[in-house]
Amino acid sequence: MFHLVLHEPRIAGNTGNAIRLAAVTGVRLHLVEPLGFDFEDAKLRRAGLDYHDLATTTVHPDLTHLWQELPTQRVFAFTAHTSVDFQDIAYRPGDVLLFGAEPTGLPDEVLHHERVTARVRIPMLPARRSLNLANAASIAVYEAWRQNGFAHSALGEDLPV
């Protein structure tokens, strides 16, 4: 399946929603520290409902550890600062969908890291700053999954289409 990476997320509720997204789609969720909350945060638990045990979530101390775990996967960094639309990418299982922190997005050193295959954007109306992180991640995950026919979960189970 795909890998969803939240780089230094700050808002517990968004990460809780990403955990729920991982549980219902089979993507593997990766969180890169530092996090702006702890896993005991009530907002994280509430947003994730009872899906925490159904999601595969890994916390990495930094990007170096993430890259070591995913050494050959293609990495698509989501940003408002590019002209490449996310739906124009032909996603493959194993691809990494990388998102930045809620207030700032991905820093330049991450956006321009040698591991980043492409920088992509989700179109929005002009003069809008950004989408909510959990909403943007959902849009990207579902597009990648849709392109691959919604056919297999991370566990290799056939899913109804």
**Which pTM does this prediction carry?**
0.90
Write out the two tokens for 75: 């990495």
Find the CATH number of the domain harbouring 115: 3.40.1280.10
pLDDT at position 159 is 46
State the pLDDT confidence band at 152, using cuts at 50, 70 and 90. Answer: low
Question: For the chain, what percentages of helix, strand and coil (3-state, to nearest 5) are there?
Answer: 35, 20, 45
Asked whether 44 and 13 are in contact (CB, 8 A), the reply is yes
Note whether residue 49 is domain-resident.
yes
Tokens coding 107: 């820093």
Residue 152 located in a structural domain: no
Distance CA 26, CA 125 (A): 30
Tell me whether residue 13 is in a domain.
yes
Whether 115 maps to a domain, the answer reads yes
Q: What is the mean pLDDT of the chain?
A: 89
Kindly write down the DSSP assignment for every residue of 19-71, as one continuous string: HHHHHHH-PEEEEESPPSS-TT-HHHHHHHTT-GGGSEEEEESSHHHHHHHSS
Q: Is 159 among the domain residues?
A: no
Residues whose CB falls within 8 Å of the CB of residue 118, separated by 6 or more in sequence, listed in order = 76, 77, 84, 89
Count of domains forming the chain:
1
- Residue 158 inside a domain? The answer is no
The number of residues making up the chain comes to 161
* Per-residue pLDDT tens over the stretch 89-142: 999 999 999 999 998 999 999 999 999 999 999 999 988 878 999 999 999 999
For residue 119, give its domain range: 3-147
Per the model's pLDDT, the better-predicted residue between 14 and 49 turns out to be: 14
